[in-house]
């Protein structure tokens, strides 16, 4: 039986989206959008540094199967909570009357369960891949949210940030595939298969983004995440 920690967020996010679209939301102020993006950029940068220090300290850089030495409850809880906070990306798009793309919706819908799958393990110790995933995703998000705080000033970085986002999914795809291929690596192969599917979907979608022509006009700074499409008003790098 699936844990409520997995199916509850997957059920709650669609309800949030439908409710926001039907009800309508007032446009956020420029100051609120700026504060949101800067706060998530700073948080992501801090989490990237922490995850990298943990990997180096425990000698697990590049080791897809090396178990973490100890639980880090506050660190794990903070990262999981941030994925709920990022649902505000969707609300800001709805408030700005921007379209919600397939990538945006599926990415936000799946992220919380994917993080949960890396945390719900025997002994309460996170997956060997959790810290690498945090480091890569936080690095990409630090730049991405900074871009959306100052889109005009950061416009030259747009495609580079999308390339970083694609790279993080390709790297994690390779690490998860390796963990599945090595006998005795990981304690939950079924969970890793679900994570593998999520990274594969994101890699394909971000690869498609890079092949699209860049929009002529920069969207205003708002609060969206990795899933924003070229030329559709939603904030995709």
Confidence category of residue 60, pLDDT binned at 50, 70, 90: confident
Structural domain contains residue 130 = yes
The mean pLDDT of 74-78, rounded to a whole number, is 91
Confidence category of residue 220, pLDDT binned at 50, 70, 90: very low
Structural domain contains residue 15 = no
Query: What range defines the domain where residue 86 resides?
Result: 27-211
Contact assessment for residue 51 and residue 118, using Cβ atoms and an 8 Å cutoff: no
Structural domain contains residue 216 = no
Q: Decide if pLDDT at 71 tops 60.
A: yes
Q: Decide if pLDDT at 27 tops 80.
A: yes
- The segment with the largest mean pLDDT, out of 57-66, 143-152, 213-222, 225-234, is 143-152
Structure confidence by residue, pLDDT tens digits, 155-195? 889 899 999 999 999 999 998 888 888 766 655 666 778 88
Enumerate residues 6+ apart whose C-beta is below 8 A from 76.
119, 126, 130
Structural domain contains residue 197 = yes
pLDDT recorded at residue 215: 59
* Calpha distance 47→79 (Å, rounded): 8
Structural domain contains residue 1 = no
User: Could you give the number of structural domains in the chain?
Assistant: 1
Structural domain contains residue 7 = no
Structural domain contains residue 80 = yes
Structure confidence by residue, pLDDT tens digits, 98-128? 999 999 999 999 999 999 888 877 666 788 8
Structural domain contains residue 142 = yes
């Amino acid at each position: 039986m699936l844990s409520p920690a997995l199916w509850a967020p997957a059920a709650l996010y669609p309800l949030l989206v439908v409710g926001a679209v039907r009800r309508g939301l007032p446009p956020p102020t420029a100051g609120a959008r700026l504060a949101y993006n800067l706060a998530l950029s700073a948080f992501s940068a801090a989490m990237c540094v922490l995850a990298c220090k943990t990997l180096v300290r425990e000698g697990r850089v590049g080791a897809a199967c090396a178990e973490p030495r100890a639980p880090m409850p506050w660190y794990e809880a903070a990262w999981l909570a941030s994925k709920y906070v990022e649902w505000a990306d969707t609300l800001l798009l709805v408030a700005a009357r921007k379209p919600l793309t397939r990538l945006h919706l599926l990415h936000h819908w799946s992220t919380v369960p994917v993080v949960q799958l890396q945390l719900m393990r025997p002994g309460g110790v996170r997956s060997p891949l959790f810290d690498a995933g945090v480091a890569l995703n936080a690095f990409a998000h630090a730049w991405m949210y900074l871009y959306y705080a100052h889109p005009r000033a950061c416009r030259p970085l747009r495609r580079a940030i999308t390339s970083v986002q694609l790279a993080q999914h390709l790297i994690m795809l390779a690490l998860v595939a390796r963990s599945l291929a090595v006998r005795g690596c990981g304690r939950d192969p079924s969970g890793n298969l679900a994570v593998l599917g999520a990274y594969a979907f994101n890699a394909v979608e971000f690869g498609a983004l890079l092949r699209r022509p860049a929009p002529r006009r920069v969207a205003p700074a708002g609060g969206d995440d990795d899933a924003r499409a070229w030329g559709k008003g939603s904030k995709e790098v």
